[in-house]
Structure 1
């Protein structure tokens, strides 16, 4: 099943002998980190096992939102909202970014109160957000046929094109001097006197003094080969896009049944508003206790299943030598089959909520595997056990919009600059230092 069509990025033919930082992973987080570091005068090599932006960074909804964020992510998302409007100029490429607003439907008086309370978190940042009346919701979403008590509406929220953004940022980093290496899996990290001194790729060795792992759903496997425990599982989300549709809403809209946003081409990206599929895999048992609070909190939104994925992941090597072919070379792109029952239900729900979608024609469907942590908050952190090694992963379905901010924070940590936001909540050690796992769904 082919995934979405991503703007192609041709990798550099030559491997650099030495750089300051190697970034592993060519998604929105890795490319954003590479751009930030290269702009600071550091020499960067961006290594991607497949193609730039081919996995979850091109398969998400394309929402650039601060609405309904976990409160720990709000300062970082504020930073991202500062960055997005200037990305086209910085990269001299089109990311598809547009500030068009996002609204989250409130079905009950309790939700109205919850969303109103959540919006208070944005007041210190002078970002307009609050619950609007049903009449305003009807104005924002023309033809709405879904009874609501109101909606949390944030005009500053927006959208960008996942199939364009990571490639644009990668090309921007390359234009400033970064090496962009595709189909170039990193097999191992080398150390000298306990510190990072280089990486071994399938094409040769690159000397460096720092490494950033931004490997998305692959980050746990890579970390494990270094002896680093990273609690992370995968969740599958199915998405469809429509052909161009006249008269549809500009504002992105979320309900418990369906979520949709307008695309740059005039079509819409549509997905189930809440439900995701979780394949039971060997790591599900290894990490059961870490993820138990999340399962209790979100069990209504998760569909557990046992299928071929168990055998696939059971077959992955968990340890390998630098001269051995790795799982990253054996699977260049994670391209799961979309759940057809979800596709049918989602399209029907969209037409029920906004009848204009009854005229929508499905152009393509795809699925992606989301990297999830036990508290659904990312890890953006140095790793104490291996000085010079850093991890930026586990964005739990919130990574696309926050990506440029996460890249800036990661670059701050690597370069020793004053962090743009306090990184404490994103430290890896929170899962092992006795801290309570706190699940915050954004309200």
Structure 2
């Protein structure tokens, strides 16, 4: 069994398969968790999820509290709750309707306002009516999680191969029989592509048309700050969560930068419903990324270098205006953030499917080839459960949740492809 990709989904899949007694090699073109798995907000949330993801995220919330003990390492997980603030009565009503999706799970999720809001989010001077507070939500440290899970998989027998790009697969009688890496071949009868933002390029070389685009999100972290809120907080202008070191990670609650690239035109029709749904949150730009992606080979032989070897890590520059406006908005709403000293900012590419729901599925056209990708910004929190579900699909065990919504075939079977905000 070969897992391609060393982010939190790939490492979680490798851990699950290793614990089930399979021989596993995880191949990562760069280092473990160096792309979006270490660049995200660090939220572990079920609140405001697409209803199709809720059962799998409920399983993730069951798994996260035991991950330190399971891996023997610190992942920084803490159940501290997340507040989605509402500025209008209409938003309050919308979020209350969304909360109905969680009633079967009996999680702590409720609408709060007034004194109860102040008790959960002290020091807030934002002009809000109240919010949706989900106490079952939490946070973890992105820089710790994927490496910890990878090392746990290694201890259970998995081979963790970094700086080892997979160039392609080999087949025998139409079935997977191995992969070719830049270091040589690995025999296997199954492959999991957990390649994040690179998954469309890799699968395209196998004549598998996977619709996927990227959006860029910018994050800033502060030095330790005493007296700030313990729960995470979201509005359209800014969002934050407390870090294990006492500082905060902050980002815009809505703004994502979208680089126009050749795939933007190839996939425009598939993404129209998503664009109509989320156009206010997207900042389109035309720049050097177009030429860079246009230069990538879209087809290659297994005996020649690939784009994955020329670009080991996607490391986009953070958007300075987003950093400034985020810090300013947070300080206006929470005076304590006026004292915050920025220590670092970064950006990462989020891989997005047309319906903003991941693929966790086999691919019928290539028996033995599986995909666990397209998590659309939700991969960090849902990662441990995604790895569990992927391992169950591969081994033929009863899945922890119904995988129907995550099937690859939805992109070609006439299923409407659009995000669902649950309202």
Q: How does 1:137-176 map to 2 (within 5 A)?
A: 137-176=117-156
Which residue in 2 is equivalent to 1:114? 94
**Shift, 1:140, TM fit:** 1.6
Alpha-carbon distance in 2 for matches of 1:359, 1:91: 37
Cα distance in 2 for partners of 1:371, 1:115 equals 26
Aligned to 1:340: 320
- Tell me, yes or no, if structure 1 residue 182 matches structure 2 residue 157: no
Contact preservation (8 Å) 2:356, 2:375: yes
Is the contact made by 1:95 and 1:165 (CA closer than 8 Å) also made in structure 2? yes
Q: Distance in 1 between matches of 2:272 and 2:354?
A: 8
Question: Residue by residue, what CA displacement relative to the aligned partner does 1:307-366 show, whole Å, maximum 9, x if unpaired?
Answer: 000000000000000111100000000000000010000110110111100000111000
Q: Distance in 1 between matches of 2:383 and 2:115?
A: 34
Which residue is equivalent to 1:136? 116
The question of 1:65 aligning with 2:45 is answered: yes
The separation in 2 between residues aligned to 1:314 and 1:390, in whole angstroms, is 27
202-211 vs 120-129, greater mean Cα deviation: 120-129
Q: How many residues align?
A: 423
Alpha-carbon offset, residue 438 of structure 1:
2.9
Cα pair 2:222 2:342 within 8 Å, conserved: yes
Q: Which residue of 2 aligns with 1:283?
A: 263
Matching residue of 1:35 = 15
8 Å Cα contact 2:318/2:345 also seen in 1: yes
CA distance in 1, matches of 2:286, 2:418: 28
Greater mean deviation of Cα atoms: 118-127 or 313-322 = 118-127
Give the aligned partner of residue 24 of structure 1: 4
Does residue 308 in structure 1 map to residue 288 in structure 2?
yes
Contact 2:218 2:348 in 1 (8 A): yes
User: Contact 2:68 / 2:75 at 8 angstroms: preserved in 1?
Assistant: yes
Could you tell me which runs of 5 or more consecutive residues in structure 1 were left unpaired when the two chains were aligned: 1-20
1:327 aligns with 2:307: yes
1:394 aligns with 2:362: no
TM-score, length of structure 1 as denominator length: 0.95
Q: Write the distance in 2 (CA, Å) between the matches of 1:352 and 1:131.
A: 24
User: 2: distance between equivalents of 1:111 and 1:305?
Assistant: 30
The answer as to whether partners of 1:118 and 1:442 remain within 8 angstroms in 2 is yes
Q: What is aligned with 1:360?
A: 340
Deviation of 1:135 after TM superposition, in Å, equals 2.2
Q: Gapped runs of 5+ residues in structure 2? A: none
The reply to whether residue 99 of structure 1 matches residue 79 of structure 2 is: yes
8 A Cα contact 2:51 2:421, kept in partner: no
**Alpha-carbon distance between aligned partners in 2 of 1:250 and 1:128, rounded to the nearest angstrom:** 16
Number of the residue aligned with 2:273: 293
CA offset at residue 442 of structure 1?
4.3
| 1:376 alignment partner in structure 2 | 356
Are residues 1:432 and 2:412 paired?
yes
Measured against aligned partners, the alpha-carbon deviations of 1:251-286 in whole angstroms (never above 9, x if no partner) come to 000011100000000000000001100000000000
Q: Which residue of 2 aligns with 1:80?
A: 60
Residue 441 of structure 1: aligned partner? 421
CA distances 1:175-225 after superposition (whole Å, capped 9, x unpaired): 111000000000011110000000000001100010000000000000000
**How big is each residue's C-alpha offset from its partner over 1:78-103, in whole Å with a ceiling of 9 and x where there is no partner?**
00001101111111011100000000
Alignment partners' CA distance in 2, 1:268 and 1:146: 18
Q: Equivalences for 1:205-244 in 2 at 5 Å?
A: 205-244=185-224
Q: How far, CA to CA, are the matches of 2:114 and 2:334 in structure 1? A: 14
Q: Quote the Cα distance in structure 2 between the aligned partners of 1:36 and 1:169.
A: 10
CA RMSD after TM alignment: 0.7
1:199 match: secondary structure = strand
Deviation of the 1:136 alpha carbon: 1.7
1:76-129 deviation line (CA, Å, top 9, x unaligned): 000000110111111101110000000000111111111111111111111121
Counterpart in the other structure of 1:408 = 388
After superposition, the C-alpha distances for 1:275-300 in whole angstroms (9 at most, x for unaligned) are 10000000000000000110111100
Could you tell me whether the CA contact under 8 Å between 1:134 and 1:151 is conserved in 2?
no
Aligned to 1:9: none
